[in-house]
Amino acid sequence: MILIAPFTPQSVAKLEPRTRAICRELLGRLSDRTQCDAAMDYAQEIPTRVTAYLLGTPEHDGPRFRKWARDFLEQGAADPAITHRVLAQVDAFFAEEIAKRRAAPGHDLISHLLEAKLNGKPLSEEHIIGTTRLLFFAGIDTTWSMIGANLWHLATHEEDRNERRRRLPARVCVGCGGPSNREGDRNRRLRAEKREMVMLAYGAANRDPAMFPDVDRVIIDRAENRHATFGLGIHRCIGSNLARVEIRVAIEEWLGRFPDFVLSDGAVVEWSAGTVRGPRRIPIAIRH
């Protein structure tokens, strides 16, 4: 209940102007270029800076946020030592930010958590750090992966690109290319020992042919699109409204500035490893 209010559609709408300003600033840096990396130069910058703005932390910490997210979700999946190192650094960072808000509260999410009460009592330091850590890891890599996947699709599908450009504001695809989905997961069978931790590839539900006709086709304007990208029921992602705003605004602003773009000649698109799937590098040729 504590986090519902900051993530309602009405609350998230207040973050749209800042999100749009960030996108325009990033695109301004690319305005004179004919080549760029749509993932590194654009998609990966947006959620890190929006998340920092939401939490009230410095936006220039974006590069550090990106490194933490990639180390934790990619390398940490195979090396517990990296996981522990990153968690220690993230927790120390948020402990310092919490101390700053105790001394000078603001209108950010950390200040909101400091003011919140659970069963009539303030949240513990451990609770606040755990919550900010969860929001940090859950909302950065997943969102930049969806922004990048949309740009990759539009760069490789001229008809969809032209259609999106003609029909702004943008409708974006979050179903077929959901970032928690791994290619091949739908063909795997679960074999686990008792008390062994497993990860459910719920993104495979988005490839269920019983639910989605032409399951291997990206149809942005599907009439029925009951995807599981943001989870379902009581386990639905609390940040889904914010993610949708970030993705929509990112695509709208990109198409408004660069309506015609394709993959660069000989481009090799790099995709992530680990638990989150998304393009890490998207070499783009911009047609001015």
Lowest model confidence (mean pLDDT) among 54-58, 101-105, 219-223, 257-261: 219-223
Lowest model confidence (mean pLDDT) among 34-48, 164-178, 223-237: 164-178
Q: Which amino acid is at 258?
A: F
Q: What's domain 5-286's superfamily in CATH?
A: Cytochrome P450 (1.10.630.10)
- pLDDT at position 201 is 66
| 111 or 187, higher pLDDT | 111
Read off the tokens for 28: 């301004």
| 115 or 210, higher pLDDT | 115
User: What is the rounded distance in angstroms from the CA atom of residue 176 to the CA atom of residue 254?
Assistant: 21
- pLDDT at position 205 is 73
What DSSP element (H or E) covers 84?
Answer: helix 80-103
143-167: average pLDDT: 88
Interior CA angle at 135 toward 41 and 127, to 5°?
Answer: 150
Rounded to the nearest integer, the mean pLDDT of the chain is 84
Q: Where are the beta strands (DSSP E) in the chain?
A: 35-37, 117-118, 121-122, 261-263, 270-271, 279-281, 283-286
Closest by Cα among 142, 161, 96, 146 to 276: 142
Task: Tell me, rounded to whole angstroms, the distance of Cα 47 from its chain centroid.
Answer: 6
Query: 170: exposed, middle or buried (C-beta count within 10 Å: 0-12, 13-18, 19+)?
Result: buried
- pLDDT at position 139 is 84
104-118: average pLDDT: 94
pLDDT of 32 over the 60 cut = yes
Q: Delimit the domains of the chain by residue range.
A: 5-286
* pTM for the structure as a whole: 0.83
